């Protein structure tokens, strides 16, 4: 496996749980719960902790009208995904390679429902957010989410692993749709066989180590 891809895969497992798990989980009937996908275009830079390599910065951008997420992974590449679709793609720019990522397969094993409760309010990166506590079995965490669906901070523990993310910069504004399109002229690669179910599993904002 190329060194760039070895670096990207752990980052992918850290970043996507910020938004994908709860975004694809069906809501419980009549449950008070946060908006789980931004209602307008925004780009957020996060500080991610809970990795063996130490804290990392990752920028997530949302194209709200098309329900697309782009995760820029520390200058080595990026991932584009639609939480409602079975697949996304990962781009390794320096190597001019693109690889399909089975989003739903990677999220297999996530709890389909959980309990949410409000736990106060806070401000993160200059923006107000509602603190939510999430619990499913022994897995639990908290996330501070704006009224328009932007996760500003999340931390918790799932399946014995813990992590934390916090926004350091939030920039609302129109996103260029071209940045969310699969690049042309790049070599296509296949994801290695034997991808374990639940590679990206975890509570919203709970990175895997």
CB 1 within 8 A of CB 112: no
- pLDDT the model gives residue 111: 44
* Residue 2 three-state SS: coil
* Residue 66 three-state SS: helix
CB 137 within 8 A of CB 160: no
Rg from Cα positions in the chain: 16
Which residues have C-beta within 8 Å of that of residue 198, sequence separation ≥ 6? 106, 107, 108, 109, 110
β-pairing, 42-49 with 139-145? unpaired
What the chain holds in terms of domains, given with CATH numbers, is 3-189 (2.50.20.10)
For the chain, residues with pLDDT lower than 70 are 1-31, 50-55, 86, 103-114, 157-161, 191-209
β-pairing, 68-72 with 151-158? unpaired
CB 177 within 8 A of CB 66: yes
- The residue with tokens 């042309």 is 184
- pLDDT the model gives residue 18: 46
CB-facing half-sphere around the CA of 3: CA atoms within 13 A: 1
Burial 145-156 (b: 16+ CB within 10 A, else e): bbeebbbbbbbb
- pLDDT the model gives residue 103: 66
Instruction: State the DSSP string of 31-72.
Output: ------S-SS-EEEEEEEE--TT--EEEEEEEEGGGTEEEEE
- pLDDT the model gives residue 92: 87
């Amino acid at each position: 496996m190329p060194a760039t891809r070895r670096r990207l895969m752990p980052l992918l497992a850290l970043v996507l749980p910020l938004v994908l798990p709860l975004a694809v989980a069906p809501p419980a009937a009549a449950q008070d719960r946060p908006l789980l996908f931004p209602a307008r275009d925004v780009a957020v830079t996060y500080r991610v902790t809970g990795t063996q390599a130490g804290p990392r910065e990752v920028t997530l951008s949302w194209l709200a009208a098309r329900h697309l997420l782009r995760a820029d992974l520390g200058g080595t590449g990026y991932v584009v995904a639609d939480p409602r679709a079975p697949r996304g793609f990962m781009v390794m720019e320096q190597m001019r390679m693109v690889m399909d990522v089975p989003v739903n397969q990677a999220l297999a094993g996530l709890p389909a429902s959980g309990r949410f409760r409000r736990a106060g309010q806070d401000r993160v990166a200059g923006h107000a957010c509602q603190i939510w506590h999430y619990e499913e079995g022994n897995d639990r965490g908290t996330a501070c989410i704006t009224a328009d669906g932007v996760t500003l901070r999340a931390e918790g523990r799932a399946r014995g692993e813990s992590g934390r993310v916090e926004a350091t910069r939030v920039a609302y504004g129109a996103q260029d749709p071209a940045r969310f399109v699969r690049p042309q002229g790049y070599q296509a690669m296949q994801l290695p066989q034997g991808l374990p179910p639940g590679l990206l599993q975890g509570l919203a904002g709970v990175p895997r180590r």
